[in-house]
Amino acid sequence: MTKDNITITALRLFLLNGYKNVSLVDVAKAAGITKGGIYHYFDSKESLLQAAIHYLFERFEAKYVELFGSSRSLQATLNTIIVDREFEIFLERLLDIEPGCYRDNHASLALEVIHSFPGFQERLDRNHLKLLREIEQKVKSAQDNGEIRTDIETQTLAILILSVMSGQNTLSFSLNDSNVRSKVMDSLWLLIKA
């Protein structure tokens, strides 16, 4: 069992059950190791959570760069994220969890982490700024190529796109079905297309 496997197992359990409801014994059992095996890599449940969140951010940041740095059009990229749920599917595959089953604990885990680890909000802010830069570059390229309007400030449009992406993650499952996601994408595109 590697450190990454323990980290992924812990993250899955924290997301599904809530941080406070998961013990190191639970993580060890799910990972198929002893509690001592966890202590080989982590000195506490808190350090395991910090490592798990750091691991997740690193993976998401790489995914942002991959999606927004691709040669695909802005419309195709946004469709992949908004309609096709690329980030949610990425998370589900990374953690080997069922679609949507973590949604109820997603926000509560974020609040637990922010409350327990003051540096987390700073890390989250850095993550958002990095994503915002990636989106801005894609928006600028789309403006330069005539794909979208040029009368909207690049940063403002990037913030709008990030807000739609973030908001979608917090919507209840009933407000986040494929029909709603398609309508959101269509409406956004009508507002910004050239």
pLDDT digits (tens, 9 = 90+) for 53-73: 889 888 988 998 999 999 999
| Distance between CA atoms of residues 184 and 188, nearest Å | 6
pLDDT at 155: 96
Q: Does residue 97 have a pLDDT over 70?
A: yes
Computed over its alpha carbons, how large is the radius of gyration of the chain? 18
Q: What is the pLDDT of residues 24-50, one digit of tens each?
A: 999 999 999 998 999 999 999 989 998
Q: Does residue 133 have a pLDDT over 90?
A: yes
Burial of 147 from C-beta contacts in 10 A (0-12 / 13-18 / 19+) = middle
Helix (H) or strand (E) holding 125: helix 119-144
Q: Does residue 103 have a pLDDT over 60?
A: no
Using 50, 70 and 90 to split pLDDT, how confident is the model at 16? confident
pLDDT at 43: 93
| Domains, the chain, with CATH or none | 46-192 (1.10.357.10)
H-helix segments, the chain? 3-17, 24-31, 35-39, 45-68, 74-78, 86-95, 103-116, 119-144, 154-170, 178-192
10-14 mean pLDDT: 92
Sequence-ordered list of residues with C-beta below 8 angstroms from that of 175, at least 6 positions apart, any chain: none
Give the bridge partners for 148, in sequence order.
193
Structure tokens at 41: 């890599």
Which has the higher per-residue pLDDT, 84 or 158? Answer: 158
